[in-house]
């Protein structure tokens, strides 16, 4: 009897819930992403919340995220290599590699943990393409750098935190692939 009452109340709530809330079942909430960032980077909840607040204000709720690591270096011309796991809200998970060149007024090197929010990606195979980005447009919140990359209506918002020294601005792209590629093209 108690189970029937709970089921009836849950069903009534589902009909009363706003349509927008029902449509967002396939996206992550800001709390879920902030918790994942806290676990991944080992930062405070306040730091994670400030980063998430900024990105959610710009793009809303993501359908997935990539958690991984990368290394990069540059002396005018730069290279970046990384790998991680794509996690979709619906439970799909797959390995992703990325690499790319850059060109600009940029010197130094760094190793970073990268947590990338993914928007407008229905078919996970569509992540395997080139995403242009401008590193000079990055902003820093709570010690983490964020920039946006966009291709074919898919937006990626990489959040980076790491060690190293790199100074300058550059333009380039990241090419996401199923396998590690040493040539960044």
For residue 107, is it within any domain?
A: yes
Compute CA distances 10 → 6, 7, 20, 28, whole Å.
6, 5, 17, 21
For residue 77, is it within any domain?
A: yes
Q: Please state the pTM of the whole predicted model.
A: 0.81
Q: Which among 125, 135, 114 is positioned nearest to 66, based on CA atoms?
A: 114
For residue 37, is it within any domain?
A: no
User: Above 90 in pLDDT, residue 127?
Assistant: yes
- Predicted confidence (pLDDT) per residue in 73-111, tens digit: 999 899 999 999 999 999 999 999 999 998 888 888 888
For residue 14, is it within any domain?
A: no
Give percent above pLDDT 90 in the chain: 51
Q: What is the CATH number of the domain that holds 165?
A: 2.40.128.480
Say what the alpha-carbon torsion angle 173, 177, 180, 185 is, to the nearest 10 degrees: -40
For residue 26, is it within any domain?
A: no
Domain range spanning residue 114? 46-177
Number of domains into which the chain is organized: 1
Give the pLDDT score at 12: 33
What are the tokens at 122?
Answer: 């229905």
Rounded Cα–Cα distance for residues 27 and 39 (Å): 19
For residue 70, is it within any domain?
A: yes
User: Above 80 in pLDDT, residue 22?
Assistant: no
- HEC readout, 91-153: CCEEEEEEEEEEEEEEEEEEEEEEEEEEECCCCHHHHCCEEEEEHHHCEEECCEEECCEEECC
For residue 11, is it within any domain?
A: no
For residue 154, is it within any domain?
A: yes
């Amino acid at each position: 009897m108690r189970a029937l009452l709970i089921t009836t109340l849950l069903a009534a709530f589902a009909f009363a819930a706003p349509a927008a809330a029902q449509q967002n079942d396939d996206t992550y909430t800001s709390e879920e992403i902030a918790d994942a960032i806290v676990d991944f980077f080992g930062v405070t909840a306040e730091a994670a919340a400030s980063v998430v607040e900024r990105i959610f204000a710009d793009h809303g709720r993501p359908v997935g995220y990539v958690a991984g690591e990368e290394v990069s270096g540059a002396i005018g011309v730069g290279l970046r290599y990384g790998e991680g796991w794509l996690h979709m809200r619906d439970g799909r998970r797959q390995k992703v590699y990325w690499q790319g060149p850059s060109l600009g007024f940029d010197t130094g090197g760094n190793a970073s943990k990268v947590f990338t929010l993914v928007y407008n990606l229905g078919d996970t195979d569509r992540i395997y393409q080139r995403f242009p980005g401008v590193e000079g447009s990055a902003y820093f919140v709570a010690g983490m750098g964020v920039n946006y990359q966009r291709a074919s209506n898919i937006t990626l918002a990489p959040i980076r935190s790491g060690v190293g020294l790199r100074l300058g601005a550059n333009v380039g792209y990241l090419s996401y692939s199923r396998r590690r590629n040493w040539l960044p093209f």
